[in-house]
Amino acid sequence: MNWALRRQLFYASVVIAVIGFFGFLIIYPYFNQTPTCMDGKQNGTETGIDCGGSCAIACTSQVDQISILWSRAFRVVEGRYNAVAYLENHNPTTAVDKIKYKFRFADKDNIFIGKREGETYIPPGGKFVVFEPAIDVGNSVPVYTTFEFTEAPVWITVPKELIQQLQISIVGINLGGENTSPKLFATIKNNSLFRIPEVSFMVILYDEFGNAINTSRTFVDVLKKEETKGISFTWPEPITTKVVSKEIIPMFNIFQVKLK
């Protein structure tokens, strides 16, 4: 091999080395990216694709489905009804920020008479209610009511410490005027140091057999830290069945609470 050829090979090897070096700098980041919860891959501590482990999103395979315990339509006045779905979230530390749902109504002959669609949240762990007010069914009577979520939930992990702190106590429940103009009063207290906005309270009245006989809803714009308030519920018509027990369920979106 003569000197000229050796020099050409040397220059060629230098060029190849330089190209390889810069090529490595360009390509390396694509093969050595830090795992994230939005890269479309199962990596890092994830137990699924972009879910589980250190990700806020919980894997669907690791959560239990919501149980629909019952769904009913309760008469408000003639032709208008409140629809209620009584549900249970079996996952103590996961919640859903936003999910769509649908009520469907049928008469005694199981003939479809209407539907109502909406959007809600699912609180972590426990029983909760989806409430749709003032449904107009005309001259029909909704005997059968069904409820379903119309999209897959996106489960988000909630810190256990936050759930344990966010407690609302309800005392002094008193129902009167059942045979004329029913009213129910109660006292609520935010036992946490968090500001809880847009809290709704659903009351369910039960007969001696544990059957739900009526329901109502009221709102509180905000519950400040350690704040106590009075709430009330009303019905436009008498309650003809004897009320044996009452259940008040507070509802708020845990992703909207703030420490103030």
DSSP 140-196: ----EEEEEESS----EE--HHHHHH--EEEEEEEEE-TTSS-EEEEEEEE-SSEEE
CB 169 within 8 A of CB 196: no
According to the model, what pLDDT value does residue 30 have? Answer: 57
Closest CA to 131 of 249, 232, 223: 249
Query: What is d(CA 78, CA 69) in angstroms, rounded to the nearest whole number?
Result: 26
Tell me what percent of the residues of the chain surpass a pLDDT of 70: 84
Domains 39-158 and 159-260 share a fold: yes
Mean pLDDT (the chain, rounded): 88
Q: What angle do CA 184, 188, 190 make, to 5 degrees?
A: 160
Of 56-60, 122-126, 127-131, 244-248, the poorest mean pLDDT is in 56-60
Task: Delimit the domains of the chain by residue range.
Answer: 39-158, 159-260
Question: In terms of pLDDT, which residue wins out, 50 or 44?
Answer: 50
Q: Does the pLDDT value for residue 6 go beyond 80? A: no
**The CATH number of domain 159-260, selected from 2.60.40.3230, 3.20.20.70, 3.40.50.1970, 3.30.470.20:** 2.60.40.3230
pLDDT band at 54 (very low <50, low <70, confident <90, very high): confident
> What integer is the mean pLDDT of 47-69?
88
Q: Which residues of 194-230 are buried (b: 16+ CB within 10 A; e: fewer)?
A: bbbeebebbbbbbeeeeeebbbbbbebeebeeeeeee
pLDDT band at 14 (very low <50, low <70, confident <90, very high): low
According to the model, what pLDDT value does residue 43 have? Answer: 76
Query: What is d(CA 232, CA 219) in angstroms, rounded to the nearest whole number?
Result: 9
> What integer is the mean pLDDT of 28-52?
70
Model confidence pLDDT, tens digit, residues 200-233: 999 999 999 999 999 999 999 999 999 999 999 9
Helix (H, G, I), strand (E, B) or coil at 19: helix
- 210-215: which pairs have CB atoms within 8 A and are 24 or more residues apart? 210/245, 212/70, 212/72, 212/74, 212/84, 212/86, 213/74, 213/239, 213/241, 213/243, 214/74, 214/239, 214/241, 215/74, 215/82, 215/84, 215/131
Query: What is d(CA 137, CA 112) in angstroms, rounded to the nearest whole number?
Result: 11
Query: What is d(CA 66, CA 137) in angstroms, rounded to the nearest whole number?
Result: 28
CB 186 within 8 A of CB 174: yes
CB 137 within 8 A of CB 83: no
Q: Does the pLDDT value for residue 34 go beyond 70? A: no
Q: Does the pLDDT value for residue 4 go beyond 90? A: no
DSSP 100: E
What architecture is domain 39-158? Answer: Sandwich (2.60)
Q: Is the pTM of this model over 0.85?
A: no
Strand order in the sheet with 80-89: 67-77, 80-89, 126-136
CB 64 within 8 A of CB 98: no
pLDDT band at 20 (very low <50, low <70, confident <90, very high): low
Closest CA to 154 of 88, 85, 100, 86: 100
